[in-house]
Structure 1
Amino acid sequence: MTEEEAQTKWCPKFQVATSGGEVTSTFETDNRPQTWAEVEVGQLLVPVPTGIHHTATCIASACMAWRWRGRQGRTNGYCGFAGEDPQA
């Protein structure tokens, strides 16, 4: 895939620690942070996930795991963690 295509995909190595806000609260890790929109339901505004946050997407050749396909041209590559697609 091209770098532009890769940059629209979720990175499986992305993680962020979140907390309940208290100093003594436990942390959880999340690797698919969402973008949210508020949707009106009756008289309430309810948060609804709308997609994967841009910080969790692939950074393509800026990543040490990015692998170029072939030796010429550097137009297509793949994630080294996921491995090369034999069908591509």
Structure 2
Amino acid sequence: MEPRYEIVINIRVPEGYAEASRFTLAGDYQEAVDLFAQLQGDGMPTSSTAIRFDLLEIKDALSTVLQTRYTILCEAGDNCKAILRETFRVLTLRPVGPY
């Protein structure tokens, strides 16, 4: 089974983190990593970063966190916009096949 890629958004709460949203990405590993590289945020949490983006590889029901970004709210909004824009591009502009 081919792996699939997801970006999971978690919000920091007093108990740790709570999942807020999940995007299933179109495309392969390289497209997922390239998209995640475009996202704003830091690789390490700070006191002001309340939102965490995790890039997951899911294969045979096993999830592996490939990369993580910690953001503030305004960066999180921009990141969601970037994820949707890139997913739309991959799904609608990918060649369907030879004619």
**Do they fold alike, i.e. is TM over 0.5?**
no
Q: Between Structure 1 and Structure 2, which shows a larger proportion of strand residues?
A: 2
Q: TM-score, normalised by structure 1?
A: 0.24
Q: Between Structure 1 and Structure 2, which shows a larger proportion of helix residues?
A: 2
Q: TM-score, normalised by structure 2?
A: 0.23
